Structure 1
Amino acid sequence: MGDIRSPSRRALLFGPVPNAPSLAVLRPPWAKPEPEFLAACTHCDACVRACPEQVLLRGADGLPCFESHAGECTFCGDCVAACDSGAFEPARDPPWTLVAQVAGTCLSARGVVCASCRDVCPASAIHVPPGARGAASVEQEACTGCGACVAPCPVDAISLHHAPAMEAVA
């Protein structure tokens, strides 16, 4: 099963961003730290097939990855339950250290009324100043990193990253 990501709206209309930095691969929730996950995962795709939201895909490296442009992770745990290889840590809370970040291309920051990210955030972690008086902001302590805000953004201003402060704790 190959990587079936569709191009972003921006890439579709204007072409890919030249020299865009490569983004880190986002593993499924509760995945063990990268070296352990790489050693334990058997490439069986059981977690990918079990994902009811279809946000887990086989990445370019042949391992499962979370694709935030495909939708929201509901943290149902079906991926963990489907895995027999021991590549997950189901008892870990939170399931990962991902948080949303807003880029300077945010429409609200440019004076355009938009709150698409705030409207879909199940954790109410995104705040947008009224009347397009500034960029959307993310309350990192409340953000679950579910990715619900990524795909609805019309200018791809939302992305997920590992929270540095939380990585030291995990």
Structure 2
Amino acid sequence: MAVSLARRAFLRSGKPLASEHRPPWTGEDFVDACVRCGDCINACPEGILQKGDGGFPQIHFNHDGCTFCQECVHACDEPVFDLARDAFQWRAGIRDNCLAKAGIHCQSCQDACDTEAISFRYSVGQVPRPEVDAGSCTGCGACVAVCPQDAIDLVVPEHERVNEQTVITDKG
């Protein structure tokens, strides 16, 4: 069963934990290792790293996704980033409020997905419906940034769940 971090944030008066939206290639020790200098935020060319909860850098897919340029890694002097890790544990998941699931032609998520992890299945007499190949999805958030319905969650698969951090839903 998926745990909604948006719901948890609501129950905490809307404040997400810094570790829920942490930068790529960081782990559970992120909050302990980060000195909140902002160097990674300033280095991010996409502007997806922003000062967040407690001054920690947090990732927000408001306008763009992560290109994995590693500028944040190179800008940081602390032992925060580890390129041996996957950049993100989460993968795209499409909610029921998706326009295509409501019978409206929309494929903006597929168009934004460089790895082609999102495809649309065609059926006779129906609008194509989205499918996500979790094995191809990098969790970059490009699909989240372009979705007109905010219908894409970033979900940590069951086998990779750590501390019940399961769903990242907000764009910032």
| TM-score scaled by length of structure 2 | 0.78
* TM-fit CA distance, 1:48: 0.5
* TM-fit CA distance, 1:167: 4.0
Match of 2:39 in 1: 46
Q: Is the 8 A contact 1:43 1:62 kept in 2?
A: yes
In structure 1, which of residues 59, 63, 70 is the aligned counterpart of residue 56 of structure 2?
Answer: 63
Per-residue displacement from partner, 1:15-52 (whole Å, max 9, x unpaired)? xxxxx62366321110122xx11111001001100111
Q: When the two structures are aligned, how many residues end up with a matched partner?
A: 145
Q: For 1:61 and 1:108, locate their aligned partners in 2 and report how far apart those are by CA, in whole Å.
A: 38
* TM-fit CA distance, 1:148: 0.6
Per-residue displacement from partner, 1:98-129 (whole Å, max 9, x unpaired)? 21110000111111111110111001000123
Identity of aligned residues (%): 39
Q: For 1:84 and 1:146, locate their aligned partners in 2 and report how far apart those are by CA, in whole Å.
A: 24
1:27 aligns with 2:22: yes
Match of 1:154 in 2: 148
Match of 1:99 in 2: 91
Q: For 2:52 and 2:63, locate their aligned partners in 1 and report how far apart those are by CA, in whole Å.
A: 13
Match of 1:117 in 2: 109
In structure 2, which of residues 100, 121, 138 is the aligned counterpart of residue 108 of structure 1?
Answer: 100
Q: For 1:55 and 1:133, locate their aligned partners in 2 and report how far apart those are by CA, in whole Å.
A: 30
Q: For 2:83 and 2:128, locate their aligned partners in 1 and report how far apart those are by CA, in whole Å.
A: 41
Q: Is the 8 A contact 2:63 2:146 kept in 1?
A: no
Q: For 2:111 and 2:98, locate their aligned partners in 1 and report how far apart those are by CA, in whole Å.
A: 15
In structure 1, which of residues 80, 85, 92 is the aligned counterpart of residue 73 of structure 2?
Answer: 80
Q: Is the 8 A contact 1:69 1:147 kept in 2?
A: no
- RMSD of equivalent CA atoms: 1.7
SS at match of 1:69: coil
Q: Is the 8 A contact 1:108 1:128 kept in 2?
A: no
Q: For 2:115 and 2:54, locate their aligned partners in 1 and report how far apart those are by CA, in whole Å.
A: 31
Could you tell me which runs of 5 or more consecutive residues in structure 1 were left unpaired when the two chains were aligned: 1-19
Q: For 1:40 and 1:114, locate their aligned partners in 2 and report how far apart those are by CA, in whole Å.
A: 42
Q: For 1:77 and 1:162, locate their aligned partners in 2 and report how far apart those are by CA, in whole Å.
A: 22
Per-residue displacement from partner, 1:65-106 (whole Å, max 9, x unpaired)? 1112231101111101111111111222x2221211100001
* TM-fit CA distance, 1:133: 4.3
